[in-house]
Amino acid sequence: MKSIMQDRLSQETMDILTSIGRVADEMDLRAYVVGGFVRDLLLDNENLDLDVVAEGNGTQFAIEISKAMNGSVRSYESFGTSTVTLENGNKIDVATARKESYLNPGALPTVERGSIESDLFRRDFTINSLAIILNGDDSFKLIDFFNGQNDLNEKVLRVHHDLSYQDDPCRIFRTIRFEQRLKFSLSEKTEMLLNDAIQKKHFDLLSGHRLWNEIIAILKEKKPLRYFRRMKELRLLTAIHPKLSYNLGDMKSLEKIEKALPHLRMIPLPAKPEEWKIYLMAILCDLNDEEFTQTCKRLSFSEKQITFYDEELKTCRLYQEKLNLKSDFLPSEIFNMFSAISTEAVLLLAALSDKERTKKFVQLYFTEYISSSVPELTGDDLIELGIQPGPLFKTVLNSLQSARLNGLVISREDEVALVKNEYLN
Ligand code: ATP
């Protein structure tokens, strides 16, 4: 008889899980699919990330899964984890069931092999500590040691024990993420522990790298504004910079982005923008130079990243002023401005501006100017016309580009005439 869990699975996922179960049988070990996948299955939310845990040698198990399913495997021996990549590119994370102990708050835990129960207990919330058995007589049966299913039904987020946030302060941010994404509330105890952890600033123990991983995960959520509002309410933004909460004020800039994005998404862009970067730039934009540098350092940005955001934001501020000061710009002026910054920065300009014309310029830039900015004449044509390769080339091509954008040339003949008139005697 089919279990209730089987009814919820797509045929494709069923096939994958059945194959994994078969490999587990052959290796005589117990395998489970765990975590977010099971949570989302029960919530009817799509989640294609399979996290598999084996009571046994997870690394060898991953190798056998990849052989059975014609995939490839990459193992991280020291963590006992592996990733199997299937032929269609889908990935399955495979780990050995483990037990963790935290010697120092915020540091990585000491890990030893454990049972599925200990593996589920080391997880963040009861709703993320559910598992489905993949082999043996109980195949596809749900395992729920900690009443996770009940918490899912009650829409409650609950940590396992009093030291959870101290052990791993990343969970403070994960709490915000799941609370806001799923619109769950915190159990009374969890709320108390969370407030206590924030008050004791446990997040200060997190490395910049781990903190950034949490922040970027929040920025990548569908509508991050309310996540930031909640962090502000909980005085959690100080984890990033002590003045951030004050500087973001009532979060007007994030609000403007959230409001503008549905419209901006309708503009055909050369490539799909990374929307989280627009939010990040809006946050960084509200900081002064010193705060900007301190924030980037706290989040362990590389020098290259710091320079990138610094330059983008300075240029954006400059353009913002320019676009506010006058209303008439030649297409080539707009093109030269916007093509010097990333697509995300151009969208930031559009989102933050209160001027309709700035939004119009952004629209025109993407829909018309980019495509009409390419001259017909190529470098070879210029050589044939008698222009020597060298710095002049770029000047000529730029001038052809501007003339095209501004409608001064519309054909190849026009371009040839322009080159002859302006650059050859
Ligand atoms: P998402 O939908 O955001 O991917 P997820 O629950 O799948 O959510 P992951 O970050 O992929 O989240 O983690 C997979 C599982 O690992 C979680 O469901 C949880 O059980 C566990 N986990 C991840 N991070 C932690 C942590 N910091 N502390 C404890 N358990 C964690």
Atom of ligand 1 nearest to the CA of 217: 3
Structure tokens at 165: 């946030």
- Condensed to tens digits (0 to 9), the pLDDT of residues 52-106 reads 999 999 999 999 999 999 999 999 987 889 999 999 889 999 999 998 888 777 6
Q: How confident is the model at residue 133 (pLDDT cuts 50, 70, 90)?
A: very high
Alpha helices in 183-274 (DSSP H): 188-199, 208-219, 225-233, 244-248, 252-264
Structure tokens at 300: 């362990």
Q: What is the mean pLDDT of residues 266-291?
A: 95
Residue 224 to residue 181: CA distance in whole angstroms: 9
Atom of ligand 1 nearest to the CA of 129: 20
Q: How many angstroms is it from 381 CA to the middle of ligand 1?
A: 57
Question: Which residue CA neighbors atom 6 of ligand 1 most closely?
Answer: 36
Evaluate whether 32 touches 52 at the Cβ level (below 8 Å): yes
- CB-side exposure of 106: number of CA atoms within 13 Å? 13
Residue 349 to residue 264: CA distance in whole angstroms: 11
The chain-wide mean pLDDT, for the chain, equals 94
Indicate whether 277 pLDDT > 90: yes
- Condensed to tens digits (0 to 9), the pLDDT of residues 214-252 reads 999 999 999 999 999 999 999 999 999 999 999 888 999
**Residue 80, pLDDT score:** 83
Q: Are strands 98-101 and 110-113 parallel, antiparallel or unpaired?
A: antiparallel
Ligand 1 lining (C-beta closer than 6 Å): 35-36, 47, 49, 51, 123-124, 128, 168, 170-171, 174
Q: How confident is the model at residue 389 (pLDDT cuts 50, 70, 90)?
A: confident
Evaluate whether 140 touches 6 at the Cβ level (below 8 Å): yes
Residue 10 to residue 14: CA distance in whole angstroms: 6
Long-range pairs for 243-248 at CB < 8 Å and ≥24 separation? 243/287, 243/291, 244/283, 244/287, 244/291, 244/295, 247/286, 247/287, 247/291, 248/283, 248/286
Q: Is the entire prediction scored with pTM above 0.85?
A: yes
- CB-side exposure of 59: number of CA atoms within 13 Å? 9
